Chain A
Amino acid sequence: MSRSPDHPIRVNLEKCGGCVHCLTACPTRAIRVRDNKAQVLGDLCIDCGECIRYCPNDAIESRTTSFSDLRAFRYKVAIPATVLYGQFGNDTTPNEVLSALRHEGFDQVFELSSICELYASAAEEYLAAHPQPRPLISTTCPVVVRLIQRRYPSLCGLIVPIEPPREIAAKILRATLPGVLKLAPEEIGLIHITPCPAKIVSINRPATMAKSYLDGAISIRDIYPRLLQALKKIDESTIMHHLFPANVFSGLGLGWSLSGGETRGLKKHRTIAVSGVRDTIRVLDQVEAGQLKDVDYLECMVCPDGCVGGPLAVENRFITKSRILRLVSMASEKVGVERADFGPFVRENFLSFQHPVKPIEVPLLDPDPVEAIRKATRRDELLRLLPGKDCGACGAPDCLTLAEDIVRGLADLDDCPLFRKEIR
């Protein structure tokens, strides 16, 4: 296995066939094929998982929390993304899914949809109290936060300083459980269940606090077979209806796994919902060019159609979307979460970032401005020599990237098979 440190994306070298699918799929041009195997460049990777989606050999994997890691905790709480409810047959209810998680060894399961509603009301308040700057950008998608830190440093200040629902939920549990259970905080494991490869990064290296309130993230892919088995075993008598009566499910919150779900809760403001990594990049480019100042709130989700399109989900996103929409229509729109409902634990700033999102430096062409100008000029000259087919045969995703790798000393003009053929 090879992977760059700090990133969950890794290439299974036995399965990797050295083709170019992941190269062209990567929106930040972070993959190269060397010695017939794909390599992920950690400085450029934003953990979006597009490569996982496009690899025909299923050779790109995401490192998430394993079931054996859970043994470290005496009390385990699962905090599933609401996408999980749409992964099973049409007749499977959220209650059954939550019960299946308990069956699989979680001592408690925390339902997130009401917390999404709480976030929406906090965001509404924040927008009203801060008429400038615009547009403010949602924090829900960790890849968007990472993308902004790296590629749009000037937009860091536009990120709404409210922690995403998964972290708010974990923070509430952190504040309440140790006292209730009489356990030391480290004995309690708070585990997110997710379709997203980037959540583990947001837990291990959070952008807005010293330490995440979550202890790990298990992918839906990994837990799916177990839940499927558990669902067969549980019957009406083992479903704990009393724990999750119908009125805990917020229609508004359940819809958050779909693009536009979050903005739906912000009725008083002008909002835009974007999904898909390339469209997100396009819209963030517009924001950086000073457009969209008349928009209050921008929801960007890098997965197609929102979290339902997460690369670590099992069911295809169209079916998931249909099931989630059905759940949304069956649940009441709001369960009436007020910040006050969380009692003494929701003090002022309870939902806020510990510190603002800070830019992450990206590798420049050269740290020396004079040398950088030379390299940019040389790169353009090289680009004119290259065939412009963007075929990926050299191991870089396109001719421009090869030219750039050459001036950085990472590749050679001879790496291009078409160039070699021409000079012969």
Chain B
Amino acid sequence: MEEDLCYRQEYSLKGGEFARAGEVSRRIKDLLKELGLDVQVVRRAAIASFEAEMNVIMYAFQGTVRLAVTPADVTIIVDDHGPGIPDIELAMTEGYSTATREMRELGFGAGMGLPNIKRNADVFRIVSEPGRGTRLEMTFARDGRPS
């Protein structure tokens, strides 16, 4: 069945593994390029998945990134086991951040992560259960943004 055609890949992340930060989003980006996606779609997916990856590394214990590419779109779902986000609306505000000083010194935690993901994804959903974890879902239409 043509509609069922889908490339799937799963990557795991560990909280605190700053040394490997960016690895998963880089692999996603390389793959999307090979699959012939539009340069700007790849760029937006790379930026959004990098931010999501950093969120897991900075705040959660562990996480998984699931990538699904169909002929129509790219979906990236990031699930983590972590503290969760008590007030999502607040977390979505540009500049709001709970990053520690160490994280900021590394150049992260400027409070732009989630807003940046939302800006770059065509469809963005966030669900969080405080004390358990967070799920981010982002979709990128293959032929650019849907009207």
Give the B-binding residues of A (Cβ under 8 A). 151, 153-154, 285-286, 288-291, 294, 359, 362, 364-367, 369-370, 372-374, 376-377, 380
Contacts and interface: CB of A to CB of B under 8 A. Distances in A.
A154 B7 contact: no
Contacts of B26: 285, 289
B22 A373 contact: no
A373 B69 contact: yes
B43 A154 contact: yes
Given A288-B29, A364-B35, 4 more contacts: A365-B36, A370-B2, A373-B71, A376-B35
B147 to A, nearest CB: 20
Residue with the greatest number of chain A CB neighbours at <10 A, chosen from B6, B25, B34, B39: B34
A365 B39 contact: no
B142 A369 contact: yes
Contacts of A369: 35-36, 71, 142
A409 to B, nearest CB: 16
6 contacts: A286-B22, A289-B25, A364-B34, A366-B36, A373-B71, A376-B69
Nearest to B50: A289
B90 interface: no
Contacts of B9: 380
B2 A154 contact: no
Contact of A364 (B2, B22, B36, B47): B36
Contacts of A362: 33
Given A365-B35, A367-B36, A376-B7, A290 B50 contact: yes
B50 A372 contact: no
Contact of A373 (B5, B33, B50): B5
Interface string B25-41: 11001010111100110
Contacts of A154: 39-40, 42-43
Given A154-B42, A364-B34, A367-B36, A373 B70 contact: yes
Contacts of B39: 153-154, 359
Given A289-B26, A290-B50, A376-B31, A370 B71 contact: yes
A380 B31 CA distance: 12
Interface in B96-140: 107, 116
A288 B46 contact: yes
A289 B42 CA distance: 10
Interface residues of B, number: 28
A291 to B, nearest CB: 8
A154 B42 CA distance: 9
Interface string B1-29: 01001111100000000000010011001
B69 A290 contact: no
A403 to B, nearest CB: 12
Interface in B55-99: 69-71
Contacts of B142: 369
A133 B35 CA distance: 28
Nearest to A374: B5
A291 B112 CA distance: 12
> What 6 pairs across the A-B complex have the smallest Cβ distances?
A290-B47, A289-B50, A364-B36, A373-B7, A154-B43, A372-B35
A365 B37 CA distance: 11
Contact of A289 (B6, B7, B22): B22
A288 B30 CA distance: 11
Given A153-B39, A289-B22, A289-B25, A373 B6 contact: yes
A133 B9 CA distance: 33
A289 B29 contact: yes
B76 to A, nearest CB: 14
Contacts of B116: 290
Nearest to A292: B107
A188 to B, nearest CB: 41
A364 B8 CA distance: 18
Nearest to B49: A289
A377 B9 CA distance: 9
Contact of A365 (B34, B70, B71): B34
A370 to B, nearest CB: 5
A289 B117 CA distance: 12
Contacts of B107: 291, 294
Nearest to B72: A369
Contacts of A291: 22, 50, 107
B7 A290 contact: no
Contacts of A370: 2, 5, 71
Residue with the greatest number of chain B CB neighbours at <10 A, chosen from A286, A359, A376: A376
Nearest to A376: B7
Contacts of A290: 46-47, 50, 116
A359 B70 CA distance: 25
Contacts of A285: 22, 26, 29
Nearest to A380: B9
Contacts of A372: 34-36
Contacts of B47: 289-290
A416 to B, nearest CB: 21
A134 to B, nearest CB: 14
